[in-house]
Chains A and B, each alone.
Chain A
Amino acid sequence: MDKVGKVIIIGIGNLLLMDEGIGIHVINELEKHKLPENVDIYDGGTGGFNLIDMMHGAGNIIFIDAVDTRKAPCTITTFKPEDVRSIYPRKKYSLHDTDLLEVIKMAELLDNPPEIEIVGIQPKTINYGITPSKELRDAMPDIINTVLSRIEEVCSVHKLARERS
């Protein structure tokens, strides 16, 4: 698979904190679907900067994560890193405070950095528990449809690019 054609989907979050782990729950759900052969899916957990090593060799990356956009619970917002206000640099005492935008910023150092977008899901409840809130469980079909349509669109752009070349 050439690099340009590789699409990597990475769900992130903490599975022990209900809706915080929604990205992983989406990945588990995606495993039940037949995806195009140029698409890989990964459970990125709370890997911080180690997520960069999942990003090698991709033309496109779609992250799925719980994101506080101050909207209603379950709202799905698809955005690119450049759509978000810069938060660098900031004080840090712990590597455990690394957030996704910092990981993405660091990934710009990779050779041929990938195109990145984020499917952000507004959480309802973040508390101790290994299942998401009922609201997010009910919203799962919509979330999956959004992710699948993003995959379809990214893959069709690749197909078009290949046909033109």
Chain B
Amino acid sequence: MHDFNVDIEHITRVEGHGNVVIDVKAGEIRELRLDIVESPRFFEAMALGRTYKEVAHITSRICGICAVTHTTTSIKAIESALDFAPSAQTIKLRKLLLNAEFIQSHILHVYFLTAPDFFRVGSVFGMIKDNKETVLRGMRLKSLANELCALVGGRHIHPITLKIGCFSKNPERKDLIAFKEKIIKARPEIEKTVEFFKNLKTPKFERETEYISLTCPDEYALYDGNIKSSDNGEIKPADYLDRVKEFMVRHSTAKHAKANRDSYMVGALARFNNNYKHLHPRAKEVAEEIGLKHPCYNPYMNNIAQVVETVHCFEDSISLIDNLLSNGLQDEKAELTPKAGRGVGATEAPRGTLYHEHKLDDNGKITYGNYIIPTGQNLANIENDLRAMVPGILYKEKDDIILDIEMLVRAYDPCISCATHLMKVEFVNG
């Protein structure tokens, strides 16, 4: 197919979305863009003038799927501005809660959004007829992660125990013990998940790019660490603007970003590439079983990296629970003194590195805010992937080309419109 023109409109109930526009003439790409037409986000403005104690409550509501990460990142920015270091126990509980969010988000993505593509059924509802047990397994694993989220965070959507300085309520010892047993009992389900995704045929496409993620010297960095680029090493989170360069493009109301090259990738595959050596041994075994070799330059494999990270997060949760139990959980209180300052929080969200920056005045009121979400950082890279990929698949039927394009965008697990969820309805007898 030498000529190919497609506008893959994202049909949905709100006006914010990603449309892929591609125009190919005589085998040459004339136009290619990922249109993001959602309203610009003004969450930073909502934080201005509020006290440092209020801001995490606001940011926890930016997204229902990444609420733990937004809250954690916000808290870390405030703690940094106030020169406060949380206790080892608080950090472990935060890591446990982040693991819960990663598992829940990854499981939802791979089972509910990625898997239907391989069966060409349009959506997860199309899988129910022939693969009901697979869908139910996804639901069970998601529920297990939500249970952990509720155990540590007080509830599984928009957690409430996560506060500046410490947790307002610790999980009960007996509940942690019981939950560890549940993870162990769930291992066969996790193995079946690995088996299921191993047997799906991921499209072959490679384009090496710059990979950015947090990194730590002694663990697989999700909660904290320096910002690592696969191109040029590490910098401190406070210097994030030296690396992340946001810019506007005409066709998108969401900002794009670049660092050393004209685009970079964040998310599970970037973390896998940058921090492979710190994965849990079982996660490394799974990566090998499932065909994810380090380093990997196939963006479609981001989904597989999410499966590998799911295994890591389950196993790491067992270690964290053991550690918390052996040290005993202490009730904690944290006293923070308001003062002027600047703080940056950088945390890995399931979709990639999330940055929150705040400046405070002498009274601890917010005078400045800047949040950079993972999807904005990936947009330019998705376009570059498409530019590299589309010429190589023009020999296919149009429907197959469209599916390959859609699968690539979905592989990045984009958070295109987490801001509004207004339902529009049309009544049958209306």
Instruction: Tell me the A residues contacting B by CB distance below 8 Å.
Output: 12-17, 20, 43-54, 56, 65-69, 79, 82-85, 88-102, 105-106, 109, 120, 123, 126, 128-130
Given A43-B158, A48-B64, A109-B139, the answer on whether A95 and B108 have CB atoms closer than 8 Å is yes
Most B CB contacts (10 A, CB to CB) among A82, A83, A123 go to A83
Q: Is residue B2 within 8 Å, beta carbon to beta carbon, of the partner chain?
A: no
Of the residues A12, A46, A50, A128, contact of B104 by C-beta under 8 Å = A50
What class of interface size applies to chain B in its complex with A? 35 or more
Q: Are A91 and B11 in contact (CB under 8 A)?
A: yes
Taking A46-B157, A92-B123, A120-B423 as known contacts, 14 extra A-B pairs with beta carbons closer than 8 A to each other, sorted by chain A number, are A16-B61, A45-B61, A48-B108, A49-B112, A65-B423, A68-B422, A68-B424, A88-B123, A89-B126, A90-B12, A92-B113, A93-B414, A99-B13, A102-B125
**Per-position binary interface string of chain B over residues 86-102, scored 1 when its CB falls under 8 Å from any chain A CB and 0 otherwise:** 00000000000000000
A34 to B13 CA separation, bound complex (whole angstroms): 36
A92 CB to nearest B CB, Å = 6
A137 to B58 CA separation, bound complex (whole angstroms): 20
Inter-chain contact total with CB atoms closer than 8 Å: 179
CB proximity to A under 8 Å, residues B280-301: none
Residue of A nearest to B12 (CB): A97
Chain B positions within 8 Å of A66 at CB level: 422-423
Q: Are B128 and A109 in contact (CB under 8 A)?
A: yes
- For this complex, 10 residue pairs linking A to B, each with C-beta atoms less than 8 Å apart, are A20-B420, A43-B157, A45-B158, A46-B61, A50-B146, A50-B156, A52-B143, A92-B123, A95-B109, A95-B113
CB proximity to A under 8 Å, residues B393-430: 406, 409-410, 413-429
**Interface majority SS (helix, strand, loop, mixed), chain A:** mixed
Most A CB contacts (10 A, CB to CB) among B64, B113, B424 go to B64
Q: Is residue B192 within 8 Å, beta carbon to beta carbon, of the partner chain?
A: no
Of the residues B64, B105, B406, contact of A93 by C-beta under 8 Å = B406
